[in-house]
Amino acid sequence: MKTMENIASHRQQSVRRYHQARWDEPVIFELSQPGERGILVPEVEPAIAQAGQPLAGLPASMLRQHPPALPEMSQNRVLRHYLRLSQETLGADLNVDVGQGTCTMKYNPKINDQLARQPGMSELHPRQPDSTVQGILEVIGKLEGVMREVSGMDAVSLQPRGGSQAIFANISMVRAWHESRGEAGQRDEIITTIFSHPSDAACAKLVGYKVITIYPDADGYPDLAALKAAVSPRTAALVITNPEDTGIFNSRIREFVDAVHAVGGLCVYDQANANGLLGIARAREAGFDLCHFNLHKTFATPHACGGPAVGAVCCTAQLAPFLPGPLLREQHGRYQLVKGGEQSIGKISSFAGAAPIMLRAYAWIMNLGGEGLRTVSEIAVLNNNYMMHELLKIDGMAAPYAPGKRRIEQVRYSWSALTEATGVTSEEIGLRAADFGVHYWTSHHPYLVPEPATIEPTESYSRADLDEFIGVMRHIAGEARSNPDVVKTAPHNCPTHRVQGDVLDDPERWAITWRAYQRKLGERGLA
């Protein structure tokens, strides 16, 4: 009998022998072959062609003189180029995407994409009569209902096309509310926290407010004493996340809200990521006036390289008159879009927002139901506490603040002990992680937690998936001590290597398009 090999017995247990696709693909302009066509467009019929020179009445300067310098490629060559680029992209479907904390990289069910790509969704024009779009309006109406129930709020707009635009809408409503009471001039400050999303602070500034930023106290909670010192008759609103990026639930949140309400300010809850709290706790019970959810985070729509997306704005009845229009009304099962009210902040984006994203979120919710949403949160939180328990066994990794406390949906870790011992930074660990097929992110700036990593496992990953990610972290921490160079020169197994980043900050050499690159090379005689 010939020997038979047990292949599995030779498989390395700790990390995967991974290499990402590396196609060394040219920039698309280099693939151009004059005369090739990617697609043909319909010809006009003779009667239309004979309708005259349609633009002859324009000044010559309004007509294009030279065809655009686009690549010329046959169809399969375009397809192949982009398929190769897709293979050089590590989507969430392919990796245990728990390393992009705060962003809730959960499974985006394929059925929802399939449903949204049907002509009954994709071929709807947003200006069609309401009577011809009752199906999508019903989806939007029912999704608004879900958002009301999940937040406890009274009114909803799904018009914002992203979380940051939802924050902007909410803060615009804050301004409109104070204007309606004649207090806009007096109230010129918004308070937020350093662990809240950068857009919370940025949008407050954009709407015209001075931004006051609260830092954490020694236990990692937003500093209540600092808040109490900051509130005044100038306070327009508090914009805050809970739990913050640390994953520690701020149990005194009601005191924050009460302190702001006591001086006449409003409270805005950034719930972009609410993945640990579905059916557990709501904005309403904590006393908030406004909140928002990112459908592309908590409600499982794909992140799509960064949109399209939806930020669902929710508010109490007293803020509802300020919502952006159009608003959806339902009567006897018939749906109608109506203009925003007289006090509305106006339009936030085109039409009624990104409807196919709403359809996907609706389908996800309707597949899970109320009990299922609660299970989502319970398992997401279990997974997070399991990961923290295991990751903290790695020498050099810590979870600053509130020792011994459980966390909600994510944890901001710190590698500072490892960095001090080895010189290897969190950013370098992230680049090395890519060599094993997992993505990893540090945190938003500023790095208040030194050498940060933010890990959020969501409900989507199995215990074995989580163990694999933990194994990668353990392996890299070991490398940092035994062979730091392999970490510091990573990535090795990606489509490309370390980028010369200084070029990107130098106006003389940065090139934001191919034509700018060619021009700058030409100016140096290098083209």
Partner 1 sequence: MATHPYIPNSVPAVRDAMLREVGATSTEEFFADIPAALRMQSPLDLPAPHLSEARLKRHVDGLLRKNQHCGVHLSFLGGGCYQHHVPAVCDEINGRSEFATAYAGEPYDDHGRFQALFEYCSMMGALLEMDVVNVPVYDGMQAAATTVRMASRHTGRRRVLVAGNINPDKLSVMRNYGRADLDFVIAPFDAATGLLDQTALASLLDQETAALYVDVPSFLGTIDDGAALAAAAHAVGALFVVGVDPLSLGVLATPASYGADIVCGDIQPLGMHMNYGGGQGGFIASHDDPAIVMQYPSRLFGIAPTSVPGEYGFGDVAYSRTSFDKRENGNEFVGTAAALWGITAGVFLALMGPQGMGELATGIAQRTAYAKQRLARIPGLRIAHGGSCHFREFAVNFDGTGLPVAAINAALLKQGVFGGHDLSADFPALGQSALYAFSEVHTQEDIDLLCATIEKAIQQ
Site for partner 1 in 97-136 (CB under 8 A): 97, 100, 103, 105-109, 111, 113-115, 117-129, 131-136
3-class secondary structure, 240: strand
Contact status: 333 vs partner 1 (CB under 8 A): no
Strands 327-331 and 334-338: what pairing? antiparallel
Task: Work out how close the CB of 97 gets to partner 1 at its nearest, in angstroms, rounded to a whole number.
Answer: 8
> Which stretch, 57-65, 263-271, 393-401, 417-425, contacts partner 1 (CB under 8 A)?
57-65
Q: Which long-range contacts does 140-147 make (Cβ < 8 Å, 24+ apart)?
A: 140/328, 140/335, 140/352, 140/355, 140/358, 141/328, 141/330, 141/335, 142/362, 143/312, 143/358, 143/361, 143/362, 143/365, 144/328, 146/362, 146/365, 147/293, 147/312, 147/314
- d(CA 311, CA 361) in angstroms, rounded, equals 11
Whose Cβ is closer to partner 1: residue 233's or residue 307's? 307
Cβ burial of 270 (10 Å; 0-12, 13-18, 19+) is buried
- d(CA 54, CA 252) in angstroms, rounded, equals 68
Whose Cβ is closer to partner 1: residue 382's or residue 420's? 382
DSSP state of 301: -
Residue 208: CB atoms within 10 Å: 13
Contact status: 86 vs partner 1 (CB under 8 A): yes
Whose Cβ is closer to partner 1: residue 265's or residue 356's? 356
Task: Work out how close the CB of 425 gets to partner 1 at its nearest, in angstroms, rounded to a whole number.
Answer: 14
Task: Work out how close the CB of 49 gets to partner 1 at its nearest, in angstroms, rounded to a whole number.
Answer: 6
Task: Work out how close the CB of 403 gets to partner 1 at its nearest, in angstroms, rounded to a whole number.
Answer: 14
Task: Work out how close the CB of 317 gets to partner 1 at its nearest, in angstroms, rounded to a whole number.
Answer: 18
Interface mask toward partner 1 for 368-407; x: CB under 8 A: xxxxxxxxx-xx-xxx-xx--x---------------xxx
Secondary element (H or E) of residue 457: none
Task: Work out how close the CB of 218 gets to partner 1 at its nearest, in angstroms, rounded to a whole number.
Answer: 17
- d(CA 524, CA 84) in angstroms, rounded, equals 32
Residues 296-325 binding partner 1 (CB under 8 A) are 296, 300, 302-309
Residues 440-499 binding partner 1 (CB under 8 A) are 441, 444-445, 459-463, 465, 491, 494-499
Amino acid residing at 334: R
Task: Work out how close the CB of 264 gets to partner 1 at its nearest, in angstroms, rounded to a whole number.
Answer: 20
Length of the chain: 527
Contacts with partner 1 by CB under 8 A: the residue count is: 213
Residues 184-203 binding partner 1 (CB under 8 A) are 198-199, 201-203
Task: Work out how close the CB of 6 gets to partner 1 at its nearest, in angstroms, rounded to a whole number.
Answer: 27
Answer for the pair 394, 474: CB distance below 8 angstroms, yes or no. Answer: yes
Q: Among 220, 222, 321, 430, which residue sits at the site for partner 1 (rule: CB under 8 A)?
A: 430
Q: Among 1, 4, 7, 55, which residue sits at the site for partner 1 (rule: CB under 8 A)?
A: 55
Residues 348-367 binding partner 1 (CB under 8 A) are 348-357, 359, 362-363, 365-367
Residues 254-283 binding partner 1 (CB under 8 A) are 254, 278-282
Q: Among 7, 57, 218, 225, which residue sits at the site for partner 1 (rule: CB under 8 A)?
A: 57
Task: Work out how close the CB of 14 gets to partner 1 at its nearest, in angstroms, rounded to a whole number.
Answer: 19
Residues 217-256 binding partner 1 (CB under 8 A) are 248-249, 251, 253-254
Question: Which residues have C-beta within 8 Å of that of residue 344, sequence separation ≥ 6?
Answer: 176, 321, 322, 323, 324, 325
Task: Work out how close the CB of 46 gets to partner 1 at its nearest, in angstroms, rounded to a whole number.
Answer: 9
Q: Which long-range contacts does 144-150 make (Cβ < 8 Å, 24+ apart)?
A: 144/328, 146/362, 146/365, 147/293, 147/312, 147/314, 148/314, 149/370, 150/274, 150/278, 150/279, 150/282, 150/293, 150/373
Answer for the pair 166, 186: CB distance below 8 angstroms, yes or no. Answer: no
End-to-end CA distance of the chain: 65
Amino acid residing at 237: A
Q: Among 10, 65, 332, 526, which residue sits at the site for partner 1 (rule: CB under 8 A)?
A: 65
Whose Cβ is closer to partner 1: residue 223's or residue 427's? 427
Contact status: 292 vs partner 1 (CB under 8 A): no
Location of structure tokens 């398929």: 83
Residues 139-158 binding partner 1 (CB under 8 A) are 139, 142, 146, 149-150
Task: Work out how close the CB of 302 gets to partner 1 at its nearest, in angstroms, rounded to a whole number.
Answer: 5
Please give the backbone phi and psi of residue 383, each rounded to the nearest 5 degrees, phi first. Answer: -60, -40
Q: Among 2, 4, 8, 45, which residue sits at the site for partner 1 (rule: CB under 8 A)?
A: 45
- d(CA 289, CA 480) in angstroms, rounded, equals 48
Whose Cβ is closer to partner 1: residue 166's or residue 231's? 166
Task: Work out how close the CB of 170 gets to partner 1 at its nearest, in angstroms, rounded to a whole number.
Answer: 13
Cβ burial of 78 (10 Å; 0-12, 13-18, 19+) is middle
Location of structure tokens 């309401």: 130
Whose Cβ is closer to partner 1: residue 341's or residue 420's? 341
Q: Among 24, 218, 342, 525, which residue sits at the site for partner 1 (rule: CB under 8 A)?
A: 24
